[in-house]
A and B are shown apart, each in its own frame.
Chain A
Amino acid sequence: MTAGDPLLVEIRDLVEAVAGPRRVPSHVGPETRLSEGGFWLDSIELLQVVVACEERFAIVFDPTRELTASALETLESLSALIRTKGARISGAP
């Protein structure tokens, strides 16, 4: 699903590391939700994902304007947010 998008793969790996193996859905795709109905991340775990993304991609979020419910809804929406921040992606050419 995310094989063609290195950013999505990296974010998925970060999210899976926070969620732990028991809460990784059987089918993970860009549309997989971070919280309810997907990885079931709670607020603390979302914070851990956000902080991990900041460190991994050398970015800083504006919590009021950028960390909105819609931006933190799915892997894809988080990926889109990070892309707008000009993230450094290890797998990118």
Chain B
Amino acid sequence: MTRAITALARPRITPGMFHTSSRVSALERVLRPLPGPVSEAVLATAAIADGLVHATRFRRARAWAAAQPGVGQPPWRLALALLANHGRFCAEEAFLGVSRLEDLPRGVILEGQAHLDVAGGAILLGFHLGSPQAWFHLRALGYPVRFAGRLARKAGDPRWAEALQAREVIRLPEGSPQERMRGLYHIRDLLRDGAMVFLTADGPFGREAFRIDLPGGPLVVRRGWLALRSLTRVPTLPVLAHRDGRHHIIVVHPALPPPAVDLARDAAQCRAALTPLIESYVRRFPAQCRYLALPPWPASPDDETIGALDSEGRAT
């Protein structure tokens, strides 16, 4: 841990540099000086109100909730909890109420940290489930984690340019595949040079690699991280985060099996390894699965998959 903190002797990214959605940013000036729990409560209430005003949103959440087996509460209640957590997580994304990096580790519990002590580079594989910004919490704990993806950065903050220049973060912008390719190339170099890079497996971009079938709808896994692990052969550590009251729990799971030479077979073995982790997460924390219940992106922007996987996830 000490070594990791030393490696980040000069943190370039601070909580105040993050931007959030346009709706929240309208309130940001008011909310940012308030204590974090107050901001979260305001946005949780606003998210519930928004879900009830836009009834389709509530109905979608309720339909997803109704599909969850054995949650022990009526679907409407789980739907409201989903909406409230969406508001809380929006506050977390923008680090509302957190002014100093040093304050962030309070309330963060890291499980499986031994898995982070890997030799050489590693892909930390995150998901759009539960508490957001796990990569940044890991940085605040002293781990030299870099982030690659869409950046929720405040426009005009020059510190982002410095962080990008230093490859503390790597932008994978929407649009031009050539531009995104440059970002992926940098990630490949970082991984080969021994860096830990946090990537998300699911989300709006990239072709579909495979689906993890879940009650209420699938989690669609994209291909980017699979290609990078194939090119670099670094370990891939799944990272899942959730809230437990005021605590953020970040769980680093054991590495996925080493990459198979064949991409389709690798996708199949990763699917087999990830499925029980995700199923267990959804079963334990259904109210924190906002993007499964209310996915803000199309499930599948195209139909291309790596090879074909049968219902058991075997490459065919």
Residues of A in contact with B (beta carbons under 8 Å apart): 35-36, 41-44, 46-48, 50-51, 61, 63-64, 67-69, 72-73
Contact = CB atoms under 8 A, between A and B. Distances in A.
B177 A35 contact: yes
Interface stretch (B44-52, B97-105, B223-231): B223-231
A43 B184 CA distance: 8
27 contacts: A35-B178, A36-B177, A42-B177, A43-B172, A43-B180, A43-B224, A44-B184, A44-B206, A44-B223, A44-B224, A46-B177, A46-B181, A47-B181, A47-B184, A47-B231, A48-B227, A48-B231, A50-B185, A51-B188, A51-B231, A63-B182, A64-B182, A67-B181, A69-B176, A69-B179, A72-B181, A73-B178
A41 B231 CA distance: 17
A41 B177 contact: yes
Contact of B178 (A44, A46, A61, A64): A46
A36 to B, nearest CB: 8
B186 interface: yes
Chain B interface size, under 10 / 10 to 19 / 20 to 34 / 35 or more: 20 to 34
A67 B185 contact: yes
- Where chain A touches its partner, the secondary structure class is loop
Given A63-B185, A63-B186, A47 B178 contact: no
Between A44, A48, A69, the greatest number of chain B beta carbons within 10 A of the residue's beta carbon is seen for A44
B19 interface: no
Contacts of A73: 178
